[in-house]
Amino acid sequence: MITYILVAVSILLLIYIVIAFNRLSKRRNQIENAISSLDSLFIQRADLIPNLITTTKEYMNYEQETIAQITQLRTPVVTDKENPYLQSEEGDKTLMNIMARAESYPELKASAQFVQLQRAFTECEEQLSAGRRYLSASITDYNDAMITFPSNVIAAIFGFSKYQWQYATAKQRTAVDAKELFR
C-alpha cells in the first residue's frame, strides 16, 4: 500500500514538474515572441518614416517649384507691351511644364502628405507602445513564476533565468526632432 502511495506521489510530482516546466517555457517563448514583434515594428519604423519624409520633401519641392514658376509667369516683362505678364517662349515652356505635372499628379498637395506622414508616424508609435506593454506584461508573468514557490525550484533545476525589463536609453528618452529629419 505504501508503495502505491509513493508511486502515486512520485507520478503527481513528475506531472507537476512537467506542467511547471512547460508553463515556464511558454512564458519564456512569449517574451521572445514579444521581442521579435517589437524588432519587426522597429524595422518597419526605420524603413517607413525616412521614406515618408523623403516623399514629403519631394512633394514640397514640387509645390515650391510650381509656385515659383507661376509667380515668374505673373511677373511683368516690359518687352511685351500687349501682355506684360507673359514672356513669349519661356512662358509657354513653363506653362506646358506645369500642365504636364498637373496631369501626372492631379491630387498633389504637400499638406496631404504631411497628414499621411503624421498618421503613419502615430500608428507606428502606437504599435510600438502596445508591443512594449505586451513585452513588459510577458516579462512580469515570467519573472513572477520564477520567484514563486514551487515553480522557482523547478526553474532553478532546469536553469531558467529571469528576464530584465527593457529600459529606454537616454537618447530614446529625448523627443525626436522632426525638424532635424527634414534637413
Domain boundaries, the chain: 2-127+138-167
Rounded Cα distance between 117 and 172, Å, is 21
Q: Consecutive sets of 10 residues in the chain, 183 residues long: mean pLDDT of each?
A: 92 92 90 84 76 75 72 58 50 55 54 73 81 86 87 88 76 67 65
pTM for this entry: 0.55
Judged on CB neighbours under 10 Å (0-12, 13-18, 19+), 142 is buried
* C-beta separation of 49 from 123 below 8 A: no
Cα-based distances in Å from 119 to 49, 65, 77, 125, 127: 11, 26, 45, 10, 12
* C-beta separation of 124 from 43 below 8 A: no
pLDDT in tens, 54-68: 777 777 777 777 777
